[in-house]
Amino acid sequence: MSRNESPIDRIIRLVIAVAAVVVAFLVGPSTVLGIILFVVAAVMLLTAAVGFCPIYRILGLRTNKA
């Protein structure tokens, strides 16, 4: 599993994850939308942490120049 995300891509994913958590708390953490936002945030944080996005691999995309 090689990295396919650039550092900028990883930062954007981190920002999206934080925004999703904030919005989840605003709409209510126990609502359906809140739970969906928490799941989105978790996926974004995980992919940002490891630098690998499975969807990029399926689509043949790579933002990392390595």
What is the Cα–Cα distance from 29 to 13, expressed in whole angstroms?
21
Query: Per the domain annotation, does 66 fall within a domain?
Result: no
pTM of the entire predicted model = 0.86
Mean local confidence (pLDDT), 21-25: 98
Query: Per the domain annotation, does 24 fall within a domain?
Result: yes
Query: Per the domain annotation, does 1 fall within a domain?
Result: no
Query: Per the domain annotation, does 2 fall within a domain?
Result: no
Q: What is the DSSP letter of 50?
A: H
For a pLDDT cut of 70, what percent of the chain falls above it? 98
DSSP string, 1-48: ------HHHHHHHHHHHHHHHHHHHHH-TTSHHHHHHHHHHHHHHHHH
pLDDT for 1 beyond 90: no
Query: Per the domain annotation, does 13 fall within a domain?
Result: yes
Count of domains forming the chain: 1
Mean local confidence (pLDDT), 2-10: 93
Mean local confidence (pLDDT), 7-18: 96
- pLDDT category of residue 45 using cuts at 50, 70 and 90: very high
